[in-house]
Amino acid sequence: MIHHTIEALLKNNRSWVAQKLAFKPEYFNELDTEAKPSYLYIGCSDNCMSLTRLTQTKPGEIFVHRNIANQVSLTDFNFLSVLDYAVDHLKVQHIIVCGHYGCRGIKAALEGHTSGLVDNWVNPIRELYWQKKDEIDCLSTKAARINRLAELNVMVQIKNLYQTSIIRKCLQKNNAPQIHGWMINPKTGLIEDIEIPLFRF
Ligand SMILES: [Zn+2]
C-alpha cells in the first residue's frame, strides 16, 4: 500500500480542486450545502472505501456516523445525538447500517487479542459470537468466520436501532425511516443488501 505524506495529502487536495474547477468552474458554488440528506449511514471507522465513490453520491447526500465495527449502542451519546438529529431535524428517509468484509473490529472481537479500550468496545460482538458459536465455528476458514460474524453484527445493530427511543417514537407515529443492512465487499467493491429479520417491537 502507498502511504502518502501529510504534505502529499494537501497537495493532492489542491490538485483535485483544480481538476474540478477546470472541468466545471461553478462546481463548488453549485454544491447545495443547505440541502437535507435523505440517508443516515452508520458504518465502520476502518472501512477503507469511500462511500460517496462507491455509491456515486454527491457531497451532502448522506449523513454519516462511523465507529469501530458499526455499533448501534444505546448508551453512546455521540451516536444517539447523530440519530436524533438525523431523524428529528433532517428527517432522513433511510437509515443504512453498513458492515464490511475483513473488518478488523470484528476480527479483534473474534480473536480476543485486543487490549485497551477497543477490547471493551467490541465486547458486545464477542457476546454475539458466543451466542452464534455453533453456526460460526463450522465455517471452514477464519475469513469466512469473521465475515459471517460481520453480517450477524449488522443484523444485531439493526435490532438495537429498533430499540432506541428515537426509532420507537417514529414507529408509534408511523413515520419511521426505512432501515437497511448493507455489507461492503472490499475485494469486489460491491455493496450487498443483506436480508434483515423483522425487528418490530
Ligand atoms: Zn471495520
Q: Cα–Cα distances in Å, from 89 out to 18, 58, 75, 141, 166?
A: 35, 20, 21, 44, 12
Q: Which pLDDT band, with edges at 50, 70 and 90, does 199 fall under? A: low
Distance CA 158, CA 155 (A): 5
In the prediction, which pLDDT does 168 show? 95
Do 11 and 56 lie in a common domain? no
Which CATH number fits the domain that encloses residue 105? 3.40.1050.10
pLDDT digits (tens, 9 = 90+) for 13-47: 999 999 999 999 999 988 877 889 999 999 999 87
The domain total for the chain is 2
- Report the predicted TM-score, pTM, of the whole model to 2 decimal places: 0.91
34 alpha carbon – ligand 1 mean position (Å): 30
Query: How remote is the C-alpha of 143 from its chain's centroid?
Result: 20
174 alpha carbon – ligand 1 mean position (Å): 33
- Sheet (strand 190-194) strand order: 62-67, 39-44, 94-100, 178-185, 190-194
Do 43 and 91 lie in a common domain? yes
70 alpha carbon – ligand 1 mean position (Å): 7
Domain that holds residue 157: 34-194
In the prediction, which pLDDT does 115 show? 73
Do 84 and 168 lie in a common domain? yes
57 alpha carbon – ligand 1 mean position (Å): 21
Distance CA 27, CA 154 (A): 36
Do 94 and 12 lie in a common domain? no
